[in-house]
Amino acid sequence: MIVSIFEGREGHIQEKGASPLPLACSNESLAGAVSQRACVYSGARVVLNPLTDALHLVHGPIGCAAYTWDIRGSYTSGPRLYKNSFSTDMKELDVIFGGEKKLEKTIRELYAEHHPPAIFVYSTCIVGVIGDDLQAVCKAATEELGIPVIPVRSEGFRGNKNEGYKAACNALFQLIGSRDYAAKSPYTLNLLGEYNVAGDLWKVKPYFEELGIEVIASLTGDGRVEDIRRAHLAGLNLVQCAGSMTYLARKLEEKYGIPYRRISFFGLGDMSSALRTTAEFFGSAEMSAKAEEIIERERSRVGPEIERIRQRVKSRKAAIYMGGAAKAVSLVRAFQELGIEVVIIGTQTGDRDDYQKISYIVREGTVIIDDANPLELAELLERQDADLLVAGVKERFMAYKLGIAFCDFNHDRTSEFEGFDGMVNFAREVDVSINSPVWKLPLLRKSPLEKGVEEFSGGDDVSEPCCG
Amino acid sequence: MSQSRAAVNPCSMCMPLGSVLVFRGIDGCMPLFHGSQGCSTYMRLYLAHHFRESVDIASSALSEKAAVYGGAANLKKGLKNVIKGYSPKAIGLSTTCLAETIGDDVVRTVREFLEEEPDCRSITIIPVSTPSYADSHEEGYSAALLATVKALAERSKPNRKLNLVVGTMISPAEVRYLKRLLGDWAAEFILLPDISRTFDAPISADPPRIPAGGTTLEEIRDTANSLASITVGAWANHRAAGEYLEKEFSVPHYPLPLPIGLKFTDMLMGRIEEITGLHMPEAYEQERGCLLDAIVDAHKLLADVRTAVYGDSEMVLGLLNFMMELGIRPLVAATGGLSKAFEKLAKEIAPEAVVLAGVDFSDIDGEIAAQEIELMVGPFTGRQIARARKIPLLRVGFPNHDRFGASRQSLLGYQGAAGLVDDLANTLLEERERSSERSP
């Protein structure tokens, strides 16, 4: 047993090479174990919220709206409506008598005030219990207002974040296909599962334009309702965050015959592959040559800086704990580019295929963990002697308390990590934290009054550094 | 009021969040939410952003099945795992919307759990009802405080101590200030809840699973035997815990405002002198003189500045009163929770101000525009308005996600007030310098 804190978690933690059975995953979180997972609502929210000009209305009590107000660090190049938090602010009487009337009125009033091109209505736990008919309310509102008013089935308790991703994809699917458009280029694609955190999209989109490809819609980073309505006209779907958007890609393939490719824009290798895969898909020799030219140009541009940092961080040990598996896998490759060894890797919502893939790419001895909690993570970080944790804010302060460097790879980061420049930013952040002087500060002060200390050294006698 | 019935950009949070602030102020206490996993994860995130600390909140992780058949089994399992994982002395058990709406009887489940698990009987489990739809985080805090005192306070021998009840959420630095004050006074006291270390924990060689610090269970039991209780941050509401001790155990209760500014701090000092029979220590007389000096130094700069104050109700009342002392013109005073008492008191303190309770930031924004506000004082959640209207914002109180130092901010006492004068003045000066940056 690698870590034994909670009964029933044994199967969810494995060491590569030592455990023959497949990792247990895709089930409900253990009660009382402080899972890092969120809920269905949260999954739906993170996927849809970056749609900048849509009105996002939470049908539920104030808390669900308060905690998701402008929380995702998705940038916009224009509309700012998505940075507001709208909710029906359900009270006790709404719970008793139902919230449909209030919802109807709220939709009408918000439309009159903001004239959004679409409204998404998210359901929360209590809506699911009291049985408000969101479908009917939204249908009536769509007819009355003449814009899509789309219900998002995101009652928190209906599963984990994955269910929320699906609910969001179903909502987007309703929107797609409702506009016509004549593309300017014979080569067109959509970017799926690209959320423009810290402006990622703007580090990537120009490369596709350089290849002569028109990006029809970005789902959903810096997204616009109009673009998404005509997304069915694209020739290809590139799926970055596979966990959240493969489901939509499959639906689009089924209904509109749009093929999809899973790619990642993070890391020099993955970014290069993304460009190659795309050019290869369109089957144009000219485009393939252009892709090689871009790759060559960009890699030689950022290469020296990456190499400089690699010398400073190589052979250090990293732990990865991500929401979805796609990012985790991409991180393993990026760490290889920096000469960093991955000693722990885990996700909140990976499935059996994801963990198989992860198991394939990590070294023997790496611990793989599903749906971790703070106690397990803390114990594993020590056991595996990690120098760095890559995760989200919830995990940041735990790492710091343990004297471990940290890199935020979630909503809260403020520098782009995608594209060739993004890899430089990432490498710099890793370097800044791992090689910071703060980890060498003495944890305990030596007192001149202590036995054995003959002469006062002014405290510069570093005996027990903060981080081992 | 808002044109629409929607809440646009909320100025309050939900009840379970407030309860965590109380439970984390109890020694060895672990918070557990009876609800879906998202509630605990969202609030952990929200609190971690503010305090820059890891905040573990367990969840009974209710699923669809539990929503239909009841969540008792999950709750029992959750309690058991929290006990196994964290070895707590107490568990603060807060309900959520989901648990309340499906009608789970938490008290009964806890009773059954303790019957089934004799080994767990030494652990104090404090259930509290905190559905988001019922009220705001401020009321969640009050409810948890009352539940805590009710669960533990117990008559034994008189202890000659003063209960200092923190009736509303304040910062770790502010709790430290109050403790130092009473320590300097040589008064024996029990402060509840004490988040001074649990939400501002030092780096240590072997960090404990539940952060060290907090009011001990023994102390909370002993609150029933004290000389008197003072509740700070109980000017409008939040008096229930102190009133309970008065009613059940005849411990006299004195509800006071948060000691923000001169007069409100004088009120606290006077009350402590009365109860203990001891004079305020000389060092605090000095501090008081220095505060007056700081106020006089800044009075012309601050005179008549058209100001909006918003945030938790008790903090707003304290700030309003201090602004009147400074000669600032508070013209908008707003809080997210519905409270008639707040409205009445705010109006008394600042008759010129537009007073708003139970509002969101769209309401506040409307008044800020109408009153031609020059300075905003409140949590970071007002930042969008400040940016859009180019009004300087002094960040105070909870939440503060986009600046460092929320745990170290202290508005309380003569010392805190002096710091606040500096911050108010400097915020205005920086804005003036920025807006006058033209070539001569």
Same domain, B256 and B126: no
Q: Please give, rounded to a whole number of angstroms, the shortest distance from the CA of B350 to a CA of chain A.
A: 29
- Which residues from B are below 8 Å from A398, CB to CB? 54
Same domain, B216 and B304: no
Q: Do B304 and B363 belong together in one domain? A: yes
Residues B335 and B198 in one domain: no
Residue at which a domain ends, from B251, B282, B313: B282
Q: Which residue of B has its CA nearest to A161?
A: B38
Instruction: Tell whether B214 and B315 lie within a shared domain.
Output: no
Query: Given an 8 Å threshold on Cβ–Cβ distance, is A5 in contact with B84?
Result: yes
Cβ atoms of A239 and A249 closer than 8 Å: yes
Q: Which residues span the domain enclosing B111? A: 15-152
Q: Indicate whether B1 belongs to any domain.
A: no
Tell me whether residue B3 is in a domain: no
Q: pLDDT for A195-242, tens place per residue? A: 999 999 999 999 999 999 999 999 999 999 999 999 999 999 999 988
Record: contact A88-B17, CB cut-off 8 A: no
B176 and B261 assigned to the same domain: yes
The answer to whether residue B75 neighbours chain A at the CB level (below 8 Å) is yes
Whether residue B85 and residue A375 make contact (CB cut-off 8 A), yes or no, is yes
CATH code of the domain covering residue B268: 3.40.50.1980
Partner-chain residue, chosen from B44, B74, B384, that has the shortest CB–CB distance to A31: B74
Cα(A318)–Cα(A337) distance, integer angstroms: 13
pLDDT at site B327: 97
- Most B-contacting residue of A12, A30, A34, A412 (CB-CB within 10 A), to test interface: A34
Same-domain pairing of B427 and B332: yes
Report yes or no on B89 lying in a domain: yes
Q: What local confidence, expressed as pLDDT, does residue B95 receive?
A: 97
Domains of chain A: 40-175 (3.40.50.1980), 188-297 (3.40.50.1980)
CB A120 within 8 A of CB A225: no
B82 plus B135 within the same structural domain? yes
pLDDT confidence of residue A218: 97
Which candidate from A66, A125, A375 shows the least CB-CB separation from B97? A125
Residue that is written with structure tokens 């155990």 in the block: B249
**Structural domain includes residue B259:** yes
Considering B152, B170, B201, which residue would you say is the last residue of a domain?
B152
Co-location of B295 and B397 in the same domain: yes
Provide the mean pLDDT of chain B.
95
pLDDT in tens, A92-134: 999 999 999 999 999 999 999 999 999 999 999 999 999 999 9
pLDDT attached to residue A466: 53
Verify that B227 and B313 share a domain, yes or no: no
End-of-domain residue from the set B258, B282, B306: B282
What tens digit of pLDDT does each residue of B221-258 get? Answer: 999 999 999 999 999 999 999 999 999 999 999 999 99
Q: Say if B9 falls within a structural domain.
A: no
User: From CA B46, how far away is CA B32, in angstroms rounded?
Assistant: 16
- Asked whether residue B174 is domain-assigned, the answer is yes
What is the domain count for chain B? Answer: 3
Per-residue pLDDT tens over the stretch B92-127? 999 999 999 999 999 999 999 999 999 999 999 999
A445: CB partners within 8 A, 6+ apart: A459
Chain B residues whose CB is inside 8 A of the A86 CB are 6-8
* pLDDT for position B437: 66
Q: Does B53 touch chain A (CB under 8 A)?
A: yes
Q: Are residues B127 and B260 in the same domain?
A: no
Report yes or no: B306 at the A interface, CB cutoff 8 Å.
no
Q: What is the pLDDT of residues B54-71, one digit of tens each?
A: 999 999 999 988 888 999
Average pLDDT over residues B150-174: 97
The ranges of chain A with pLDDT < 70 are 1, 20, 452-468
Tell me if B157 is assigned to some domain.
no
Q: Are residues B270 and B295 in the same domain?
A: no
Section B362-375 average pLDDT: 97
pLDDT at A450 (0 to 100): 80
pLDDT tens digits, one per residue of B304-347:
999 999 999 999 999 999 999 999 999 999 999 999 999 999 99
Nearest-neighbour CA in chain B from A273: distance (Å): 35
Q: Check if the beta carbon of residue A211 is closer than 8 Å to that of residue A279.
A: yes
Q: Which residues of B touch A42 (CB under 8 A)?
A: 38, 41-42
CA distances from B29 to B37, B85, B212 (A): 20, 13, 10
Average pLDDT for residues B12-21, to the nearest whole number? 96
Residues of chain A positioned with their CB less than 8 A from the CB of B203? 400-401, 403, 443, 466
Query: Any CB–CB contact under 8 A between B94 and chain A?
Result: no
pLDDT at A26: 83
Counting one residue from A and one from B, how many pairs have CB atoms under 8 Å apart? Answer: 226
Question: What gap in Å lies between CA B28 and CA B31, rounded to an integer?
Answer: 10
Domain membership flag for residue B6: no
Model confidence over B425-434: pLDDT tens digits? 999 999 998 8
Nearest chain A Cα distance for residue B388, angstroms: 11
